[in-house]
Chain A
Amino acid sequence: MLKEIQKSLFKKKATVLYPFKERERVHIPEGFRGKIVFDRDKCTGCLLCARFCPSGACEIVTDEKGKRPIFHLELCLFCSQCQEVCPKGAINLTKEFELAAFDRKAFTIR
């Protein structure tokens, strides 16, 4: 019993004080599926991303370049299926995970 107490007293705490302290200690591994980054120049408008998106987060709009997707992060499941099917590598999921915002426009990726 005493041995356990001694061990626990001088051990590092298991809880990370995430938003307040040691922010950098929140370890995000490579290949984490976070916020979408879309490269509009690489896109050819094949619309595969919208065809395979399971949650309807990928909306198709028509602009001067033709049909292009816009991504609604509030609907996104972060499954990275769009990244997988994109033949040009225009869609990438980054390590960014802090996505809360007051403005809804912040959730739309163009």
Chain B
Amino acid sequence: MRVMAQMGMVMNLDKCIGCQTCSVTCKQAWTNRAGTEYVWFNNVETRPGQGYPRRYEDQEQWKGGWELTQRGRLQLKAGGRLKKLFGIFASPVQPELSDYYEPWTYDYSTLIEAPLGDDFPVARPKSLITGEDTKITWSANWDDNLAGTSQMGHLDPIVEKVRRESEEKIKFEFEQTFMFYLPRICEHCLNPSCMASCPSGAIYKREEDGIVLVDQDRCRGWRQCITGCPYKKIYFNHKSGKAEKCTFCYPRIEVGLPTVCAETCVGRLRYLGLFLYDADAVTEAASTPDPKDLYQAQMDVILDPSDPAVVNAAREQGIAEDWIEAAQRSPVHALAKKYRVALPLHPEYRTMPMVWYVPPLSPIVDLLREQGHDAEAPENLFGAIDSLRIPVEYLAELFTAGDTTIISEVLSKLAAMRSYMRDVSLGREGDASIPEAVGMSEEEMYEMYRLMAIAKYDERYVIPKAHAEDAHNLEEMGCSLDFDEGPGMGGSGPFGEASGGPVPVAVETFRALKNRQEGDTAASDEQLHGRVNLLNWDGNGTPSGMFPKRGADE
């Protein structure tokens, strides 16, 4: 047993309102550069829908992920090593810009510079690829909220599959349709096929936290990773000629801050924490013959951090105490393994993804409510989960390789939580038979409710800092205030103006922001009042309010 730590994420899809805040903040943080205009490390798809890039889930077309050879060995779906090398001069199945969209901007300056005339000036769309006038025909979320689904809904590969396998048709009529949002980032897989596809070996998994990164200095732009990733979450920067991907905001994770997408999520639906897993068991688990057993195989690879044997093995592997302790408190471990309500996205790709999803109960609740039923009564909900086959089958194709029993179990737990907690919230006696029906105790149900519904900041994010020996360097406060002279933004490093390492912009508000995020009450005026915004500082002297009062924050 080789115990390794993996930073993981769980998203509770019932809470996602599809506002795209995560997409926008992620883009501002990571991909607002030339060459990455079309790159969305985080995107939110409406399902049913084609996704981004279009129809990326159709692996017969895109050849992403792994498959088993006839002898049961794991092999890249796009072919073995030799075949990949021979295809290197022109990647056989790489999505083109038209499968994403042609990014554009607007010619805003005509709005203010156009000469006086009878017509209103308009800002014409300009292609960011050619610089010419363009016509906007598609984008990363063109089919948001089922837009155009009556015409294009059948293009969703999952819809195609569910239709093929059941006689019933997924209805796209307004009254009978269902929909939910699926936010997607890189899955930071345990068995990543992008990494296996990279001829240069530039993609690597960090030993400490399992984050999958592209070494920009070693990437040579062979583009095989783009084919290899079945989630199409590796993008080609067409200016630099290098592959780029979601970084799990590793600079933030290292200092114990949640990722930008999680931090800014208005629905507070994202959970971050550690998994401990057995690295030696990964390949074998990914080679499980029946795709429907892959979910269980993945669960078996994940170790119980409270098990003394696991803890000992983790210590032997040099995993620090605070990390083991964080793994024990990990919300993602609780949701995925303890309560078993979080599921991996497309386990059949055999990549062992580490971003998990709590499937949404709301499509079923909504359908019930529209039909005039009490959508929170347990018998109605349980009955609906059994009878509303189409949403359940659709979810099963996404999360369990088509196994509807697992989806039904998870949805039943969520339904039970809803029904049970309704009684409790209304001051009635909790009905112990409800949790019992889904194999849980009342205490467990309440704990799960706390984690999923109350979802306090420090319960959602349990992120141990990158390890202790250099943890003091990782404090954002530390690196800016260490100098004797007290630096400003771009202030004096050892070699004068603007030398030295980059200084994080959040520096002067870090403590106050942290307090606001973690505290139950709004940050007090006192903490924010009278502080100098360094962006507006003229560089002269040290005005009062430049530094926090000594000991005031402690």
A and B assemble together: no
